[in-house]
Amino acid sequence: MLPSFCIQEVTRIRPSTKVVRGSVVPDWDADKVSTKTIKGVSVQPASTSLSEDGRVLGISDLYTLFAPPDADIQTGDRIVFNSKTYTIDGEVRIYPSALNLEHIEITLRRYNG
């Protein structure tokens, strides 16, 4: 259980799947995704970086999402926070605790460029 200061909420977007050339791939068509509001979370800034390669100015923005252990969030989902859509960068990490502080931690990434 996360502390009482975790009062934010996010929206989880989960794709359906489709078969393309014999492979099962995510289907992000708007009418094929499912959404769910996840409450009682905390979203904290992690880092940001600037990429200039001479052609494009790109900004990578990372946040850390702390959510209850029973939050229905999986690697491959997308998260909407403050009207911006983030991808999940890496695995959803589960943190057990003997002090009743169980939670999951997720790195969120958004790239503009």
Is residue 89 classed exposed, middle or buried when 0-12, 13-18 and 19+ CB atoms within 10 A define those classes? middle
Q: What is residue 57's predicted lDDT score, i.e. its pLDDT? A: 76
Q: Taking the chain (113 residues) in consecutive chunks of 10 residues, what is each chunk's mean pLDDT?
A: 78 95 94 95 91 76 93 95 95 85 92 79
Q: Look up the CATH architecture of domain 8-112.
A: Beta Barrel (2.40)
Q: Domain limits of the chain?
A: 8-112
